[in-house]
Chain A
Amino acid sequence: EDQVTQSPEALRLQEGESSSLNCSYTVSGLRGLFWYRQDPGKGPEFLFTLYSAGEEKEKERLKATLTKKESFLHITAPKPEDSATYLCAVQADRGSTLGRLYFGRGTQLTVWP
């Protein structure tokens, strides 16, 4: 069964304190791994898609990396406005409807000044 596990469940950082969020996955053929940001009461906001091991993508203070078993979302010098829940999702390559995502439970990030 396809599974996505995120850690930690919650993370509190002081402004400027860099850290990483983890997403480990088991899926029968990875089509893509997605990172989303979700603010309270809102739908997920797309951040990155990674397709193959070794791939990296950056956006402002965020950098996502991918290996064959896990992905990391690195946050460099975070600011309070980076506080949100970060969701990881995978799309399977075989036996699955194109576009269907399997989500982890998310990491709730709080950045305090």
Chain B
Amino acid sequence: GAVVSQHPSRVICKSGTSVKIECRSLDFQATTMFWYRQFPKQSLMLMATSNEGSKATYEQGVEKDKFLINHASLTLSTLTVTSAHPEDSSFYICSVSSLQELNTEAFFGQGTRLTVV
């Protein structure tokens, strides 16, 4: 399967600051990347779909101005949590997918544990 590298794996930041999370597809041309959020004992909830070279598509209820997504190349997508607050503390996970593959599988990064204090 595809190798997906997510960085950092863990970050603690002060309330009001911004945090950038990177998702890299190391061996796979990722035309589409997905950003999920997972709260303890909860399901992975899709936040947004990131398409290379175009604007991200956000799920209902997700603030696009707060969660900035940039997918500038086929190997890198970034999620920036702006003006983070304690309620943004969560586990953020990216996955990659290729529109060129039928019945494509989704491969996931290792996740980023964000704690806002």
Name A's B-contacting residues (CB within 8 A): 4, 31-32, 34, 36, 41-46, 49, 51, 87, 89, 91, 97-101, 103-106
Contacts and interface: CB of A to CB of B under 8 A. Distances in A.
A42 B110 contact: yes
Given A105-B41, A105-B42, A43 B105 contact: no
Interface of B: 1, 4, 6, 32, 34, 36, 41-46, 49, 57, 91, 93, 95, 97-99, 103-111, 113
B interface, over-half SS: strand
Given A98-B99, A99-B106, 14 more contacts: A32-B105, A41-B91, A42-B110, A43-B93, A43-B109, A44-B93, A44-B108, A46-B107, A87-B43, A97-B57, A99-B98, A103-B44, A104-B43, A105-B42
B103 A32 contact: yes
